[in-house]
Amino acid sequence: MGDETTIAQVNPKELVDAMWSFAEGKGSTFRKGIVEGLEYAGDDGSRAKRVTGVVIDGAIVPAESVVMSMGPWGSVLQQAMDCTMLGVKYHSVLMRTGRVLNEAVFFSGLGDPEVYPRNDGHTYVTGFPDPPRVVSEVPGEVEVREEMCTRLVDTMKKVSSEMGGAEIALKQSCYLPFTKDSVPCMGIVPKHANAYVATGHGCWGIMNSLASGLAMSELIINGEATSVDLRPFDPERFA
């Protein structure tokens, strides 16, 4: 794949924190709540519906434009278009060996684990995905199954003597978002004037996040994305 001169690794939380710090410095605000649906303007005879707000915890928050980017939790998206989101659940563990490792490893077999060393001495290990399904678990309350984490640790002990004695710093799980055809869905929602969607990036979400955000901002502000050709991801295929 390359070496340290041609490839790099992004720590997802560090990237998200840095991006939010920048956005907050530009005046953005964060609101946490349960998104229940979209609010629409009355029928004015036009073919495209116009969203006037988002219903959050029972209250309407006015909006000039809305971007639906909710990962595998697609109930609100389904109110606007026929796009059923699926989630693939992965478990992962953070293992600490006492020194910084420098080789990422991707196994074929043994549950197909992936091993990502980080520069703080931790190594991120994931694998053993669940089958795709409609997600019913609540965001922030996704169950971490102990037996899956144990399988990951046991696999590392089989393939690496150094990882065999590593400290287990964290056990976690998450869902990767997929559309029905496994192709990201990005663009304006069919039959809508000011509702947009950007989701379904699977395991490539962090890598593609910045380019996706740039393209979506161009589409919303200028009416056209010029940095990325969004035609392969057109939501119209789910209309």
pLDDT in tens, 209-234: 999 999 999 999 999 999 999 999 99
**Which burial class, exposed, middle or buried, applies to 56 when counting CB atoms under 10 A from its CB (0-12, 13-18, 19+)?**
middle
This prediction has a pTM of: 0.89
- The Cα 181–Cα 175 span in angstroms is 17
pLDDT computed for residue 45 by the predictor: 63
Q: Among residues of the chain, what percentage have pLDDT more than 90?
A: 69
Written in H, E and C, the secondary structure of 60-94 is EEECCCEEECCCCCCHHHHHHCCCCCEEEEEEEEE
pLDDT top residue among 27 and 43: 27
pLDDT computed for residue 44 by the predictor: 67
Give the residues across from 115 on adjacent strands: 105, 125
Q: Does 137 have pLDDT greater than 80?
A: yes
Q: Give first-to-last CA distance, the chain, whole Å.
A: 39
pLDDT top residue among 167 and 100: 167
The alpha carbon dihedral of 207, 133, 153, 145 has a sign of positive
User: 207-223 b/e with 16+ CB inside 10 Å = b?
Assistant: ebbeebeebbebbbeee
Please state, rounded to an integer, the average pLDDT across all residues of the chain. Answer: 91
